[in-house]
Chains A and B, each alone.
Chain A
Amino acid sequence: MDSVKHLRFDVAVVGAGPAGIAAALAAADSGRTIGLIDDNPTAGGQIWRGAYNSARPSASSIWFDRLNKSAVQIVRGARVFHAAAGELAAESDDSVIQISYGKLILATGARELFLPFPGWTLPNVMGAGGLQAFVKSGLEISGKRIVVAGTGPLLLAVAAYASKCGAKVIGICEQTTRPKMARFGLKMMLIPDKAAEALRFAYNLRSIPHWTDCWPVAAFGNRRLETVRISRQGQTSEIACDYLACGFHLIPNLELPRMCGCRLRESFVAVDEYQQTSVSGIFCAGEPTGIGGLELALVEGEIAGYAATNWEDRAKHLFAKRARHQKVVRILQDAFPLRPELKNLARPDTLVCRCEDVPHERLCEHASWRAAKLHARCGMGPCQGRICAPAAEFLFGWQIDSVRPPLFPVRCSSLVALSSHSAPRN
């Protein structure tokens, strides 16, 4: 049987991306015990993946430096699968970790929205953030031909990064319209910290074609991706490539906040000005409160860290900075709405659920997510619907149902360790 470790922190932070790191450090200023829990082998989340051990200095270095020098206890490789009042249960490779906390800060980040199209399950079709994550985790892409597609500023970041790593980025296919894209660029320029970043992007991407009103229609290949067919302002064309990095913006990871009983507002975790959720003592920072990018995540994390340690003054000091960066949330929503044509990319035999290989036509037979799950098995696989449920929501307008433990697949023995928890909030 697994060993069970017990940890106790005054403040537990779940998610060691930028928001979580900022929250942990802010909370650590109080001298209280702080735990930073993440399911990856090293801290950094998605955007700072692989940077933790990197010798190359980067924007994240300062933060990692502070983290290393702080008294924050980092709990790596620990996947939180259950939450009850005052306690979390996490599973690592060889044990179950029961974490009791005084205050909880949820910084669970976001994942990409994947929309099915013919061939999207071919090897080397990856998320946009997905490809970036693999490159940051050691994938060599020098000389490889890459098409970046989907929507949102992540595409620009991925294209710039891939290019810097020596890949041949053939083009960026952005589904939004040209006017929306232009307005996005202009608005970002008006935000002080963003202007420099925007110009840097424009420079780095100067030789990469950027196509608006453009999206992937199909991917082809024998055992792996060989060609992508794109639709560009009504015309289709085919591009030979090695990788398709495709993601349609980000969706918040709400499973743990929902299990904790946090109320949602417009599909994000509702928080007050101190980043406190509807549950007293539970805070939330970063993408789960609204997709707003790195700078917003950092300041929200800091506010949450101070608020969780009763340092309201310090938190208040950051409100103005947060307000500036919060503009990004609205700008992103306005600039990158998903166009209806994307609902028609899937053919009847296009798989929607990859875990169970459930095609689009089987989902069409049902009127709700629950019915589709029970009868067609979509969402019944190990990803627990993380990939297919958001797609189904977009394609069919279905409301996705409630969250049950375990939040991730865990060893059966780990479920036994839950027995000492009290009943979860609903």
Chain B
Amino acid sequence: MSESISVRVNGKIVSVRAGSTVAVAVLASGATCRVSVTGQHRSPLCGMGTCFECRVAINGEPQRRSCQVLCEANMEIETNG
């Protein structure tokens, strides 16, 4: 039985399985990761760090590729839209 971790996405608490990436936490929260240059809401596409659609701010640091960052307890995740 794997443990779960709680993080906050845009202030909302989200519970994910231990070993989950931040991108998954954002997806699970129902939020989108970013807004494109013409205003489209975007979510991750490639899952492997090449598309850059998954960029969010993690613990205050902006533009992190969330599909390559593992969730840690109490992480603060802010999306750009």
Contacts and interface: CB of A to CB of B under 8 A. Distances in A.
A383 B68 contact: no
B21 interface: yes
Interface of B: 2, 16-17, 19-21, 23-25, 27-28, 32, 36-38, 40-53, 55, 67-71
B1 to A, nearest CB: 9
Contact of A127 (B25, B40, B47, B71): B47
Given A55-B2, A138-B21, A354 B70 contact: no
21 contacts: A46-B47, A114-B45, A123-B43, A125-B45, A126-B43, A126-B45, A129-B47, A130-B46, A133-B48, A134-B27, A137-B21, A137-B24, A137-B67, A138-B19, A140-B28, A223-B41, A224-B32, A224-B41, A354-B42, A383-B50, A387-B50
B48 A123 contact: no
Nearest to B33: A123
Please name the 9 residue pairs, one residue from A and one from B, whose CB atoms are nearest each other, closest first: A138-B20, A133-B47, A123-B43, A130-B47, A138-B24, A137-B21, A357-B38, A382-B52, A386-B50
A318 interface: no
A112 B25 CA distance: 23
A179 interface: no
Most buried by A among B19, B41, B43, B48: B48
Contact of B37 (A125, A133, A357): A357
Name the residue in B17, B51, B68, B69 with the highest tally of chain A Cβ atoms < 10 Å from its Cβ: B51
Given A39-B49, A132-B47, A386-B51, 18 more contacts: A41-B21, A77-B68, A114-B46, A121-B42, A123-B42, A126-B43, A127-B46, A129-B48, A130-B45, A130-B46, A133-B48, A137-B20, A138-B19, A223-B41, A224-B41, A224-B43, A355-B52, A382-B55
Contacts of B36: 121, 354, 357
Interface in A38-88: 39-42, 46, 49-50, 53-55, 77, 79
Contacts of A223: 32, 41
Contacts of B68: 39-41, 77
A126 B40 contact: no
B47 A134 contact: yes
B31 to A, nearest CB: 9
Contacts of B20: 137-139
A383 B49 CA distance: 9
Interface residues of A, number: 42
A40 B70 CA distance: 9
B19 A112 contact: no
Interface of A: 39-42, 46, 49-50, 53-55, 77, 79, 111-112, 114, 121, 123-127, 129-134, 137-140, 223-224, 354-357, 381-383, 386-387
Per DSSP, chain A at the interface is: loop
A263 to B, nearest CB: 24
Nearest to A40: B68
Contact of A133 (B19, B28, B67, B71): B67
A130 B44 contact: yes
A111 B50 CA distance: 8
A49 B48 CA distance: 10
A123 B52 contact: no
A14 to B, nearest CB: 14
A388 to B, nearest CB: 10
Nearest to A54: B19
A24 to B, nearest CB: 20
Contact of A381 (B19, B27, B45, B52): B52
Nearest to B24: A138
